[in-house]
Structure 1
Amino acid sequence: MLSWARNSAVYRLERQMMTEKQLFDAITRKARQKFEDISQQQLKAVAEFAVKFAYDLNALNDADYAQLSTQSAVRSGKSKRAIAQRLSAKGIDRETAAVALEETDDLFAAVVFARKRAFGPFRRGELNDKRKAKELSAFARNGFGFEIGRKVFEMSSEQAESVLRKDAFT
């Protein structure tokens, strides 16, 4: 069982970066399927062994996962709030998530979001009350505060491009 756990951990971590919780859950789920008469204690022991093995190989690092995931999410237009929720769902603790989110720029992410959705300075059509409400509520639904949403909404296209030219992590 332990050699299966070790091989399974290597296989999973070769394919994608995972958090400790994700690896633990994946090994537990697969062990339950593979070994029919396995007890809860054995499941936990096998999963803990796989996680320890991954740490010993330096293949598992929640801080690095949080940092890379945060950078990717900001570049794709996700707010700090949305990123924090996603990291929490992946099993990253609050302190690690806070460190990863320290240097993010919600304004940059909001401008990226606006560009993706053709809002604010990237709007192609005319602005009416319905469109204005739609755009501002989309910012709020995606975790951006009212002030940031309004700021991006009122930007000129030159201001928005200038924000995009800046690096999100400086």
Structure 2
Amino acid sequence: MKRTFSLLPALAGALVLAGPAHAAETATSNLAVSAIVADTCTIATGTALSFATLDTSSISSEITPGLVTVICTASRSGILVTVDGGDNAASGVRRMATSDGETFLPYSIMSDSGHASEISVGGELYNDGVTAAVPQIIPVYGQIPAGNYAAGNYSDTLEVTLSY
């Protein structure tokens, strides 16, 4: 007579006797992460108004573009950007001056590409809202009226103010 043995019960018994397998011990904890973002706005003048060399024989005015950028950490309405008269303004007219301060070149600041909206001394360049963390790029245009001007290197500095 032939006897057949099954290994299955023997293996099951061996596993029970071997006991549970042990992994390395672990422990967990939480690490807190936090930050505070200040509720603020900043202003930067990106592209300067540079007229380069003027052609005084031209019968048209000279125009150059520039940029002002405002960025806030929270969405806001009522953002106001104003532009003063510069260092050499006289009687409400912005003027560039030579380094000796003796010779002047008048210019205007415009808020539109069609050069129809002049910004008066202390006037508004921008008065609207901004979206949080999205740069608001504000174009600005400089314009020098056609005319005959004395040779020289002219410059001025405008103060651009952000109110929010």
What's the TM-score, normalizing by structure 1? Answer: 0.22
Give the structure with the higher percent strand: 2
What's the TM-score, normalizing by structure 2? Answer: 0.22
Greater relative contact order: 1 or 2 (C-alpha under 8 angstroms, separation 6 or more)? 2
Query: Could you say which structure has the larger radius of gyration?
Result: 2
